[in-house]
Chain A
Amino acid sequence: MWRTTVKGLMAHKLRLALTALAVVLGVGFIGGTYVLTDTINKSFDELFADTTQGVDVFVRSDTAFESQNASGSGDREAMPEEVLETVQGVDGVDTATGSVGGYAQLVDKEGEAIAPQGPPTLGFGYPDDETTENEDSAVTMRAGREPATSDEVMIDAATAEDHDFSVGDSVDVLFEGPKRTFEVVGIIGFGEADNLAGATLAVFELEAAQELFNKEGTLDSIEVTAEEDVSPGELRNRIATAVPDGIEAQTGDYIADEQSDSVQEALGFFNTALLVFGFISLFVGAFIIFNTFSIVVAQRTREFGLLRAMGASGRQILGSVLVESVIVGFLASLVGLVAGFGIAAGLQAMLRVFGLDLPSTGLVFEPRTAIIGLTVGVLVTLISAIGPARRASRISPMAALREASPQQATFSRKRLLVGASVTLIGAAILGAGLFVSLDNAVSYVGLGAAVIFFGVTALSPLFAEPLARAIGAPIQALLNVPGKLARQNSRRNPKRTASTAAALMIGLALVSMVSIFAASIKATSSRILDENLKADFIITSSAGGGFGGFSPEIAAGAAEQHEIGAVAAVRYGEFRLDGASRFLSATDPDTIEEVTSLGVVEGDVGDLDGGGVFLSTDVAESEALTVGDDLTMEFPADGKTDVPVDGIFETTDIVGSDFLVSLDTYAEQYTTNLDSVVLATVASGVSTDDARAAIDTATSDFPNVTVENQAEFKETQAGLVDQLLGLITALLALALVIALLGITNTLALSVFERTRELGLLRAVGMSRRQARSMIRWESVIIAVIGAVLGLVVGGVFGWALVTSLADEGISEFAVPTGQLIAYVVAAGAAGIVAAIPPARRAARLNVLEAIATE
């Protein structure tokens, strides 16, 4: 049996290769993601171990938790400068260096603000001549020297290189306060890396920095080196007892781990997303494998019958097919793992484009990657082959004697019942994930979607025939015989057509779901802006999709212009509610209602000046709070604080959170005070153009913000959604490519199966062109069936998703009809591409040999 299996495999190398390709791509993507994750983790571990090298103990203020501020870095209270003396006085301390940090954004030579996508823009202040004094430190001077005066700055090598700065150049820097100009006196690197995990860096002289960051007389951290005979742990303990309450000491290793963990956590989402797409690809691949094995088993019916007639048992046949699948799965997974390296390298290059410069650690290949890749690859192949293998094992010895007749799938009640039940079960799981608040909602949604895909695939042969007929009709009318034959062929074996189309259906369902979701978000956001936004101008960060922070000077400057009416800034802060991280919005209570409606249900927004909080109706309900009650909020600085509830409001969309406080309250709780949005109206009696000119003047010092009117703002928002949609579609492209490979595969096998028929057609006068066209249009029909089924399923998914998020504020359900039609057309076009190899094969067929084929 073993020998027949191997011989069978070798006899059909093309089939083997095509089946394997689906596995290769899926496993490659998954393996690549793991390789990338491991590589990133290792390089950050090394990077932060390097940068903290030589520092034995860190001293800093103790916070309840570290909140993320608008410039993208962690926020921590500063400590009084006197602590430095205390630390220096501790027995065993060799050197102790105090430093401050804060928001500092560099402006490039074209006057554009330098803004990495995601990573923060950091500023630091170090005492003159101490930054790189520590010889063990991995922080290295690449050029120049350290800043010694208040108008000198040192920047990271990546920024210097990307924006063409060298020692001696002058550079503008943006702060919480006004913009300032400095001279670049030094350029630093971090071991081999040119920057710290993508962040931009500006290092100032300590006293200058204290003033720039509003931190006069304070320090953010103290770096301590131990005398030779003292261990870091011991020194940490000694310092901890010496410093006052509210200040902590940690070893250098601890800090390195902490920093590395926080970067890894930030990238964790990215890795998970990639893995999800990898598994989707493999899921689609499973359909292809199933399909290939089904077709091959059907084609080998006589061979299996003959084996049975010669005494092979059904079990042996079953085993033979399964062993074949395991071999294919294993080989393909191996190749996939190798391909994974290439994919990892590609993804790494992509990250670099986004500004994340990783230190050049070689790609890391953990055994885990191989184990998961091989297991998943082999299992998926094996499971996909079980059905076809069982069918093969049931072939009767009589089959060897009969002429193999193409199975004519007819309407089957059983199929309808099973398919419909599976679909319903999937819908129930999906619905539970979407509409019932469960712990693992996302897993339910994923599982539900997968089950629905199985159900619809089971049902799809029932639709395939009528769909093929309908889609084929215009093709037949247009193309005459090749069109007619294409249509007939696609209808001939509805099961095969359907399961081939199913792979494409999955990809298209996901793409159209995301499109519908995106269109709904756009429609919702447009409606919300129309209904609530009164501001004529919206100022947002020009970088990072409008999520960056910028100086409060901008709002202040705008308010000074007499052409401008009301101005309200909005900034965000992280706090904890019952241990869970939440975000609050802070704004000017006196002007906010002039720039947007808040839908106040109870209370007076002006009361927020007293230090209270406004809650959204949702939160008020879920926390069972009313005006006059206290909400226990945990802040980074003060820890748990009872904040009086001043009012309840309905419209959370514009201010962006369920919790609204005043800017003063914010300043008490957070160190960094950066605005994220500024809303402004035109003063009465002033023309829009004049107001615009005024606001442009007010912001002219700040290239890191964009001023937009309502229409422009709406467009930008829509653009952001489209960008995300584009990214997701690009990642789904892999699944789509695999689905198209499936079409290629099925058609190649069909062409092989119909060799004689093709020969006959050619003999009676079908030209090569016509033969190609026939295969091509069959492919188009299959692709369009997949696309249409995908649109239907995706439409339902999209509707369910949008409906389930109505509570989250997505109130509009929009269907991007044009886009969806474009998908169908694109699928058809892709079908043409998928058909190229089999069509070519069909056209090349030697007529005589074809006729002679048994």
Chain B
Amino acid sequence: MQSVKEEAVPRPVQRIASRAVDVAKVYGAGSTAVRALDGVDMEFETGKYAAIMGPSGSGKSTLLQCLAGLDQVTSGVIYLGDVDVTSLNEKHRTMLRRDKIGFIFQSFNLIPSLTAKENITLPMDLARRKPDAEWLDGLLDIVGLKDRLRHHPSELSGGEQQRVAAARALASRPEIVFADEPTGNLDSKRGGEMLAFMRRAVKEFGQTIIMVTHDPIAASYSDQVVFLEDGKIVDLMEGPTVEKVLDRMKTLES
């Protein structure tokens, strides 16, 4: 539980939030086997905003899901902080997701029968933990949804829904947030707001975020871009800008 008192003490942070050690992921078997990840070694630093980019089918979503413990790797080891995720059973991985990880998907992020507020506190409610009221309040201020909290997802716009999803991902102050194309379904204005919000979370609260994206603009909000091709990491770029990313993408796709 994150109490207000603990807030004063700095969080006991690992330098590395997430780590993949020689990870391979093979779908299927025999002649139809697809090697979605092929020997990925990568460390994601705490408090950083990382973006994963690459052509379609390069294994971005697969990598993200393996890092989050949603999917099992074929070989290699995944660490979340100092926990070996690949050795955990289903029950413990569920606990891990609930307590230490936040998720934002491209679409269908919210439970239709729950209000925005209920969706935001869902992971904590599932864990029967009380949300940190102050933190939540501050979060909602930033997300700017205070007047829509009692609304159901069907009454919110796509952008609002994604922001609710982002608020949910951050509400329990997880060690790390995974986002798979969070702005994929949004227009550029809403997408920009969403990205700015995530950027702020990293800057102001030291939140670690790993985001998959196709969009060079989205990538430009991050601290570091990981380029993936055919299941392998082919490049790393620190301090990306739109132009630099676009350039790199062109060479990748050709």
Contacts A760-B108, A764-B126, A766-B126 given: A485-B90 contact, CB under 8 Å? no
Contacts of A847 in B (CB 8 A): 70
B72-108 contacts to A, CB under 8 A, are 90-91, 94-95, 97-99, 103, 105, 108
> Does residue B137 face the partner (Cβ distance < 8 Å to A)?
no
> Does residue A763 face the partner (Cβ distance < 8 Å to B)?
yes
B113-158 contacts to A, CB under 8 A, are 113-114, 118, 122-123, 125-128, 154
How many Å lie between the Cα of A767 and that of B89 in the bound state? 12
> Does residue B71 face the partner (Cβ distance < 8 Å to A)?
yes
Contact B113 A851 (CB under 8 A): no
> Does residue A685 face the partner (Cβ distance < 8 Å to B)?
no
The contact string, 1 if C-beta is below 8 Å from chain A, for chain B 50-88, is: 000000000000000100001100000000000000000
Contacts of A764 in B (CB 8 A): 97-98, 103, 122-123, 126, 168
Of the listed residues A480, A485, A768, the one surrounded by the most CB atoms of chain B closer than 10 A to its CB is: A485
> Does residue A481 face the partner (Cβ distance < 8 Å to B)?
yes
Contacts of A757 in B (CB 8 A): 108, 111-112
Contacts of B109 in A (CB 8 A): 760
Of the listed residues B98, B113, B123, the one surrounded by the most CB atoms of chain A closer than 10 A to its CB is: B113
Contact B111 A761 (CB under 8 A): yes
Contacts of B113 in A (CB 8 A): 485, 488-489, 491-492
Contacts of A672 in B (CB 8 A): none
Chain A min CB distance to B122 (Å): 6
Contacts of A195 in B (CB 8 A): none
Contact B128 A763 (CB under 8 A): no
How many Å lie between the Cα of A599 and that of B105 in the bound state? 84
Contact B114 A765 (CB under 8 A): no
Contact B125 A481 (CB under 8 A): yes
Contact A765 B91 (CB under 8 A): no
Chain B min CB distance to A763 (Å): 6
How many Å lie between the Cα of A757 and that of B95 in the bound state? 18
In this complex, what residue of A is CB-closest to B118?
Answer: A484
Q: Bin the interface of chain A by size.
A: 20 to 34
> Does residue A756 face the partner (Cβ distance < 8 Å to B)?
yes
Question: Which of A481, A756, A848 has a CB less than 8 Å from the CB of B71?
Answer: A848
Contacts of A756 in B (CB 8 A): 108
In this complex, what residue of A is CB-closest to B169?
Answer: A764
In this complex, what residue of A is CB-closest to B178?
Answer: A763
Of the listed residues A480, A489, A492, A766, the one surrounded by the most CB atoms of chain B closer than 10 A to its CB is: A766
In this complex, what residue of A is CB-closest to B62?
Answer: A848
How many Å lie between the Cα of A764 and that of B123 in the bound state? 6
Question: Which of B91, B97, B154 has a CB less than 8 Å from the CB of A763?
Answer: B97
Contact B105 A480 (CB under 8 A): no
> Does residue A762 face the partner (Cβ distance < 8 Å to B)?
yes
In this complex, what residue of A is CB-closest to B90?
Answer: A768
In this complex, what residue of A is CB-closest to B122?
Answer: A764
In this complex, what residue of B is CB-closest to A761?
Answer: B111
Question: Which of B65, B94, B110, B168 has a CB less than 8 Å from the CB of A768?
Answer: B94
Contact B94 A765 (CB under 8 A): yes
In this complex, what residue of B is CB-closest to A479?
Answer: B128
Contact A765 B108 (CB under 8 A): no
> Does residue A684 face the partner (Cβ distance < 8 Å to B)?
no
Contact B114 A488 (CB under 8 A): yes
The contact string, 1 if C-beta is below 8 Å from chain B, for chain A 80-94, is: 000000000000000
Contacts of B111 in A (CB 8 A): 485, 757, 760-761
How many Å lie between the Cα of A767 and that of B127 in the bound state? 9
The contact string, 1 if C-beta is below 8 Å from chain A, for chain B 20-57, is: 00000000000000000000000000000000000000
> Does residue A407 face the partner (Cβ distance < 8 Å to B)?
no
Contact A763 B103 (CB under 8 A): yes
Contact A480 B125 (CB under 8 A): yes
Of the listed residues B99, B111, B114, the one surrounded by the most CB atoms of chain A closer than 10 A to its CB is: B111
Q: Pick 16 A–B contacts, CB within 8 A, sort by A.
A: A484-B114, A485-B113, A489-B113, A757-B111, A760-B108, A760-B110, A761-B126, A762-B94, A764-B126, A765-B94, A765-B97, A765-B99, A765-B122, A766-B126, A767-B95, A767-B126
Q: Which 4 A-B pairs have the closest CB atoms?
A: A765-B98, A488-B113, A481-B125, A765-B123
- New A-B pairs, 5, CB < 8 Å, besides A484-B125, A760-B109, A768-B90: A489-B113, A492-B113, A757-B112, A762-B94, A765-B98
